Structure 1
Amino acid sequence: MAEAPALPVLPRVSSQRYLPALRVLAVALCAASFLTPMAHANGKKQHASSKKPAATSKVVAKTTKARAEERTVRGGRNVVATVRKTGGKTVVAVQRRSIVRVAEPAPVRQSFGQMAGLHNAIDPLDLKSSVALVLDQDTREVLLSKNDHAVLPIASITKLMTGLLISEAKLPMDEPITITQDDVDTEKFSRSRLAVGTTLPRGELLHLALMSSENRAAHALGRTYPGGLATFVSVMNAKARMLGMRDTRYVEPTGLSSQNQSTAQDLAVLVAAASQDSLVRSLSTSPEYQVEVGRRVLQFNTTNRLVRSPDWDIGLQKTGYISEAGQCLVMQARVAGRKLIMVFLDSTGKFSRIADAERVRRWVEGNRFAPVHTASSQISG
């Protein structure tokens, strides 16, 4: 008897390697097996509905045919099989989906001080501000200094100069000023509760600018200054030169522009000058204020919570923040019987500038006459 021919020896293949593809093919073939009965059933439905109006019959037939001729079968998380019935033939198309990866969030924008490496400076109080200056206003004794000659953006500390000039100009504080489209922030696109068309007296706009750092209020004050905004900015720079603020430059009255720059040394001079103005002192340290806008009453609050603290005796203050400047704070306050000027620039963290001021207060109260000097750097702006 003749021997049966030997079967060919097939190479061994790992089943795990082709398991996903086999699974997809099996699912696809199962789906294809249902296409023919479905097509017949759909055909019967189309025949039964032939008595309906022609337009409706065409739509139903077209929809039913599309459903019968194409089915999508999932064979895994990233594999899809499409089964089509064309000319009596079943076509199975298997494709692998690309994996969509979620992009990582963009890195947080660094401040000018961070980019310049100013936060590497070490100070005994472990301040979060890369720039700090504390001095006695009466004796001019420097109690603490840290990068106090560094030229950095000053954000809304700018409004302290804006308020001082408006007060010194002796303009009528009851004169109505209307917020216009020109006052809308196109630099940082910040929000404001003062809608275009809002009209308030100059005095109330000054109050909101100094107390709650209202950008549209500050811009409107500069825009309506005699001679216009350009004249006001030139007066800001002239005042800085007159005070001896040699490293200070202003380009607008709000502080939204990072081109408004100064040093801790210069800002200490500004705080000393502004503290001599009773109106600026009063408005900057106001805890809250209400204004009537049409039929509504808007509540505005101070941006510096230390104003409300019983532990502090603050004579003048102003806060500021833009990403390029970090958190900023300047104050004139009485601590341990001394009238101190404090400047904190480029602080990291939402409440870090407040925490830095608290550290300084506790240090001064515990070490009344021990000045501290730390590394000082200077950068150009």
Structure 2
Amino acid sequence: MEHLMSARLHYLPSLPLDGPALPAGFRRSRLFQLVALATLTLALLAPPVQAEQHKPAKAKKPAATAVKRAAAPSSARAPRKGAKSVVATRMSARSVAAPVRAVAEPARLSFGQMAGLHKVSDPLDLKSSVALVVDQDTKEVLLSKNDRAVLPIASLTKLMTGLLISEAKLPMEEIIAITQDDVDTEKHSGSRLRVGATLTRGELLHLALMSSENRAAHALGRTYPGGMSAFVERMNAKAKLLGMTDTRYVEPTGLSSQNQSSAHDLAALVNVAHGDPLLRELSTSPGHEVAVGNRVLQYNNTNRLVKNPSWDIGLQKTGYISEAGRCLVMQTQVAGRKLIMVFLDSAGKLSRLGDAERVRSWVEGMQ
């Protein structure tokens, strides 16, 4: 206030208060200035009543904010100074136009789904579009569902790979190095076996059958006498010898969807492979450690049923690529019967195991 008054006085003419008499008109002018100055001083010192009366009413808080704060627990701490309020953040978020949601890509359909095989019903309401259960001793078919449909078989391919490596009587202690040729260029899948890693042929066979290691399976085919082309030719020749007329192989891992077969053919392969003690042992191993350089890698079986004491599994193999769905083949004993089970194109990650459980309960109920 003092500053304002001094500013006002600064602009008034500087007039002498004593001295010789001045003209009346000038005195009136000086008197007028003094009165004006007094009026201005009183106006500045008076409380701003009119300003308070016309001050706009304080805006009420939004109802949504009041509700949220009322709902907040009393023990909640007040936000630190400078921290953003959650309520304020939410309110500001509402004021921004909602972003356009990205359209998710549709799930890739398997060959079985595209063929409508899942629409075929069965007494057990299996989740696999293809199923076959056969008594290994009597060859009696206990359950059949689309068993002649020819579909990609994914890593079930490795069962044939293992059978040929075992029958070839190649030295299992021979050291084999993983090379760039073993890297998956089909599905670009990963592997803990780095290029340059060295393992024995026996270890590669173990990892291929137990944990479905793709680089291990490819290295087995690549180092077969005559190379990869000779190995693939041998795979198809063996399939023909076993009467697997619906089967075709183009490589030893199962990453290619061109590796195809039927449940009927795969049951024949499981029957023969089960006769090989090495394949029985390696495919049903719960886990295995391998030393790779200065590292020790732990691998586990891709089929959790081998760790279940209520199951007696003699041989097994799992498989998956999107074109094939979830696949499983097993030789097992249920209610005193040796059974071969084949499940192809199962809908979910665990549904193939669920189908195996359904079949086992069903067979046990037949006794």
Q: TM-score, normalised by structure 2?
A: 0.73
Determine whether 1:343 maps to 2:346: no
* Matched residue, 1:230: 229
**What are the equivalent positions in structure 2 for 1:69-84 lying under 5 Å apart?**
77=96
Q: Deviations over 1:276-334 (max 9, x none)?
A: 10101110000000000111110000000000001100000000000000000000001
* Matched residue, 1:295: 294
Alignment partner of 1:349: what SS? coil
* Matched residue, 2:304: 305
Q: Whole-Å Cα distance in 2 between the matches of residues 190 and 143 of structure 1?
A: 37
**What are the equivalent positions in structure 2 for 1:39-58 lying under 5 Å apart?**
none
Alignment partner of 2:142: what SS? strand
* Matched residue, 2:14: none
Q: Whole-Å Cα distance in 2 between the matches of residues 288 and 308 of structure 1?
A: 10
Shift of 1:100: 5.6
* Matched residue, 1:143: 142
Shift of 1:209: 0.1
* Matched residue, 1:259: 258
Give 1:265's aligned amino acid. Answer: H
* Matched residue, 2:325: 326
Q: Whole-Å Cα distance in 1 between the matches of residues 130 and 347 of structure 2?
A: 11
Determine whether 1:111 maps to 2:110: yes
Alignment partner of 2:139: what SS? coil
Residues 135, 292 of structure 1: alpha-carbon distance in 2 compared, 3 angstrom cutoff: same
Q: Whole-Å Cα distance in 2 between the matches of residues 175 and 187 of structure 1?
A: 28
* Matched residue, 1:21: none
Q: Deviations over 1:5-64 (max 9, x none)?
A: xxxxxxxxxxxxxxxxxxxxxxxxxxxxxxxxxxxxxxxxxxxxxxxxxxxxxxxxxxxx
The alignment yields a C-alpha RMSD, in angstroms, of: 1.0
Shift of 1:77: 4.1
Q: Whole-Å Cα distance in 2 between the matches of residues 312 and 152 of structure 1?
A: 28
* Matched residue, 1:30: none
Q: Whole-Å Cα distance in 1 between the matches of residues 217 and 104 of structure 2?
A: 34
**What are the equivalent positions in structure 2 for 1:1-381 lying under 5 Å apart?**
77=96, 101-368=100-367
Q: How many equivalent pairs are there? A: 273
Q: Deviations over 1:166-200 (max 9, x none)?
A: 00000000000000000000111111110000000
* Matched residue, 1:378: none
Runs of 4+ in structure 1 deviating by more than 3 angstroms, as ranges, are none
Alignment partner of 1:318: what SS? strand
Q: Whole-Å Cα distance in 1 between the matches of residues 199 and 133 of structure 2?
A: 37
Give 2:327's aligned amino acid. Answer: C
Give 1:325's aligned amino acid. Answer: A
Alignment partner of 2:219: what SS? helix
Alignment partner of 1:188: what SS? coil
Give 1:320's aligned amino acid. Answer: G
Alignment partner of 1:289: what SS? strand
Shift of 1:102: 2.9
Question: Where is the strand percentage greater, Structure 1 or Structure 2?
Answer: 1
Alignment partner of 1:236: what SS? helix
Q: Whole-Å Cα distance in 1 between the matches of residues 191 and 205 of structure 2?
A: 15
Q: Deviations over 1:312-361 (max 9, x none)?
A: 00000000000000000000001100000000000001100000000000
Alignment partner of 1:280: what SS? helix
Give 1:252's aligned amino acid. Answer: E
Give 1:181's aligned amino acid. Answer: Q
Shift of 1:367: 1.0
Alignment partner of 1:148: what SS? coil
* Matched residue, 2:38: none
The percent of aligned pairs where both chains have the same amino acid is 76
Q: TM-score, normalised by structure 1?
A: 0.71
Shift of 1:103: 2.2
Alignment partner of 1:246: what SS? coil
Unmatched tracts of structure 2, length 5 or more: 1-94
Shift of 1:256: 0.3
Q: Whole-Å Cα distance in 2 between the matches of residues 102 and 312 of structure 1?
A: 47
Alignment partner of 1:234: what SS? helix
Unmatched tracts of structure 1, length 5 or more: 1-75, 79-98, 369-381
Larger Rg: 2
Q: Whole-Å Cα distance in 2 between the matches of residues 117 and 261 of structure 1?
A: 17
